[in-house]
Each structure stands twice: as C-alpha cells, then as structure tokens.
C-alpha cells in the first residue's frame, strides 16, 4: 500500500515557532515514520516543492493521501486540488484530512460545505470516545483515550452528515466535536480526524498513530470497476 503524507511545512520552519521544537523535522516526517514502521510504502510531499510535491506521477502512485495544512491553504493551486479530487472520485484514492486540514481546499471540495468549526488554544485536554467499535478505524483502541494537551475543536462543524461517525471528542470546558468522520466520495473514501495541533506532540501519541494506521488501511482503494454513461453489454451483444 502506497501512502503519501502531504504537509504544508511552514509552522515548523518559522523562526521561534513552538512547532519547530515539537516537530523539528516536520509533522510529515513523524507521520511518515510511524506509517513506514507499520509496513506501508510511504512518500512525503510539501507545499513548497514544485507542484506541491503532487505531480501526476506521485498522485498516480498514491493509494492514500494524508493532508496536514493550516496557514497557507490559499497557496495550494486549484489545478492540483482538481487533480487530487479527480484521483479520489475516479481513481479511488483514499483521502485523510488531519486537524486544520478541515479548511484545506481538497477537503472542502470533497465535502461541498464550508467546514467551519469553533476552536480555542487554551491547551486543555481532550477525551476521544470510540462510538462505533465495529468500525475498522477503531481496531485495537480502548473505549476512550485522552490527549493531554490539545487545541479544542468544537461544534458546530459544518460538514455533510458523515456516512460513519467513528469518534466524538469531549473537552473539560464542555464542548464536544465529531472528531472522526467517514465519507464515500465517488470511488474513493474520505476520513477526517481532528487531533493534531502543531504545537503539541499529538502525532507522537500511540493511540493517535493507531487511528491513522487504521484509517490508511480503511481508506485503501477497493479496485472495484465502475461504468458511467450508456450501458451496452446485454442488448448490444445480440
């Protein structure tokens, strides 16, 4: 299974920014690291590479694309966004949007809604509840787990009704959030997972890594063929 981890990679290299201390090599390297350890064939791509690292060859060679972006969503070219969208819809590539990727162009295009939400950065804890234990993305997880320090993401989250709601997060301040959501889009699958603020070591937490590993397995293309347009088969063969 071929996974490409895309990261905007701007906060980590901003002088003095906290995320550079937490992720000196970049968020994408940490995610790629635990995915490679889990046995996946992993590439990385970043915003400032030519074509944002997502050339036709790279996209054609990607089964699941993971997306982390925050401050530079608007710098992602519409042409690349269209290619990502087409690869999901017609090629069956899985797309996993993480954290502030809720406002990324490809996720917004796949959802068709504003994808807005509430947030604060008080650094409170987050309790992630498994609410669909039959779903493969929850494999090996406890009933709930805590992220010690997080950025609160709260409802309402302006997304289409998920096909499967896998996680709900709760925060001591009282907010709740649909933190793990699944959709089918064309031939492809989309998963959104909210934990992952850039100034906390959230992607180094075992349970978080397990969710992302499970999500990659779930989002893999099925390879099932689809035909659109006039259907020949039975009558034309007579």
What residue ranges bind Zn ion (CB under 5 A)? 100, 151, 197
Q: Min. distance of Cβ 95 from Zn ion in angstroms?
A: 19
- Residue with Cβ nearer Zn ion (91 or 154): 154
Q: End-to-end alpha-carbon separation of the chain, Å?
A: 42
- Residue with Cβ nearer Zn ion (69 or 92): 69
Whose CB is nearest to Zn ion? 197
- Residue with Cβ nearer Zn ion (127 or 149): 149
Q: Min. distance of Cβ 196 from Zn ion in angstroms?
A: 7
Secondary structure (3-state) at 143: coil
The sign of the dihedral angle between the CA atoms of 217, 222, 27, 150 is negative
CA atoms of 53 and 39, how far apart (whole Å):
22
Q: Min. distance of Cβ 75 from Zn ion in angstroms?
A: 18
CA atoms of 224 and 1, how far apart (whole Å):
16
Q: Min. distance of Cβ 145 from Zn ion in angstroms?
A: 19
- Residue with Cβ nearer Zn ion (151 or 164): 151
CA atoms of 145 and 83, how far apart (whole Å):
36
Q: Min. distance of Cβ 67 from Zn ion in angstroms?
A: 14
Other C-beta atoms lying within 10 Å of the C-beta of residue 13: 13
Q: Min. distance of Cβ 161 from Zn ion in angstroms?
A: 24
Scanning the chain, the segments in alpha helix (DSSP H) are 18-22, 27-37, 56-60, 78-91, 105-111, 206-219, 233-236
The sign of the dihedral angle between the CA atoms of 139, 27, 41, 52 is positive
- Residue with Cβ nearer Zn ion (62 or 194): 194
Secondary structure (3-state) at 172: coil
CA-closest candidate to residue 120, choices 174, 41, 45, 183: 174
């Amino acid at each position: 299974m071929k996974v490409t981890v895309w990261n905007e990679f701007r906060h980590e290299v901003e002088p003095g920014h906290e995320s550079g201390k937490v992720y000196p090599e970049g968020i994408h390297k940490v995610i790629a690291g635990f995915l490679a350890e889990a046995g996946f064939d992993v590439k990385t791509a970043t915003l400032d590479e030519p074509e944002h690292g997502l050339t036709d060859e790279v996209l054609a060679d990607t089964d699941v694309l993971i997306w982390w972006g925050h401050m530079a969503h608007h710098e992602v070219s519409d042409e690349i966004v269209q290619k990502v969208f087409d690869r999901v819809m017609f090629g069956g590539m899985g797309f996993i949007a993480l954290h502030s990727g809720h406002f990324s162009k490809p996720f917004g295009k796949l959802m068709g809604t504003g994808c807005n939400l509430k947030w604060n950065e008080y650094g409170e804890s987050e309790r992630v509840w498994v609410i669909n234990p039959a779903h493969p993305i929850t494999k090996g997880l406890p009933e709930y787990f805590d992220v010690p320090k997080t950025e609160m993401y709260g409802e309402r989250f302006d997304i289409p009704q998920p096909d499967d709601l896998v996680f709900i997060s709760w925060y001591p301040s009282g907010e709740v959030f649909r933190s793990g959501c699944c959709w089918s889009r064309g031939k492809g699958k989309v998963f959104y997972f909210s934990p992952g603020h850039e100034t906390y070591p959230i992607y180094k937490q075992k349970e978080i890594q397990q969710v992302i590993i499970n999500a990659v397995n779930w989002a893999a293309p099925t390879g099932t063929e689809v035909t659109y347009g006039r259907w020949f088969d039975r009558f034309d063969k007579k």
